[in-house]
């Protein structure tokens, strides 16, 4: 059974960089696509981006609304993938989920609450 677990700081100061890691267990990260999705408090879901290591090549795509601030990466040796979101504001306060899939998402982490505040 594939399991995902997000980790990272729960509080980030405005203008700084939010950094999260997702650790995958129960299966290899290679050969699949992996995504980040977030959910602001009391609101709906927003897709952030996907990344995959397919046929010895890393591929990634991010949402245009966040594109210039987002960097995603993979570490196949640790079976982890990561998210960096630069220049955060209060609007980036949300539950951040990692999930398996490029298009739709069949396995999800439990989510991590990240607040942006000074």
Return the biggest CA–CA distance within the chain.
43
**Residue 47 within binding range of other proteins, rule CB under 8 A:** yes
Task: Give the interface segment with other proteins, choosing from 24-32, 58-66, 68-76, 80-88 (CB under 8 A).
Answer: 58-66
Query: Between 27 and 111, whose beta carbon lies closer to other proteins?
Result: 111
To other proteins, the closest distance from the beta carbon of 7 in angstroms equals 15
The secondary element (H helix, E strand) that includes residue 103 is none
Query: Between 55 and 104, whose beta carbon lies closer to other proteins?
Result: 104
Task: Give the interface segment with other proteins, choosing from 14-22, 23-31, 82-90, 109-117 (CB under 8 A).
Answer: 109-117
% helix, strand, coil for the chain, step of 5:
5, 55, 40
CA distance 69 to 57: 23
CA distance 6 to 54: 22
Summarize as ranges the residues that interact with other proteins (CB under 8 A): 44-47, 61, 63-65, 97, 99, 103-106, 108-111
């Amino acid at each position: 059974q594939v399991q995902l677990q997000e980790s990272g700081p729960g509080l980030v100061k405005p203008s700084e960089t939010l950094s999260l890691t997702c650790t995958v267990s129960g299966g290899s990260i290679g050969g699949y696509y992996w995504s980040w999705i977030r959910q602001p408090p009391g609101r709906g879901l927003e897709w952030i981006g996907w990344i995959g290591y397919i046929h010895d090549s890393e591929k990634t795509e991010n949402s245009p609304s966040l594109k210039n601030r987002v960097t995603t990466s993979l570490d196949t040796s640790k079976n982890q993938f990561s998210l960096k979101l630069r220049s955060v504001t209060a609007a980036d306060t949300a539950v951040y989920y990692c999930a398996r899939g490029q298009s739709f998402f069949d396995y999800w982490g439990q989510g991590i609450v990240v607040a942006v505040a000074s």
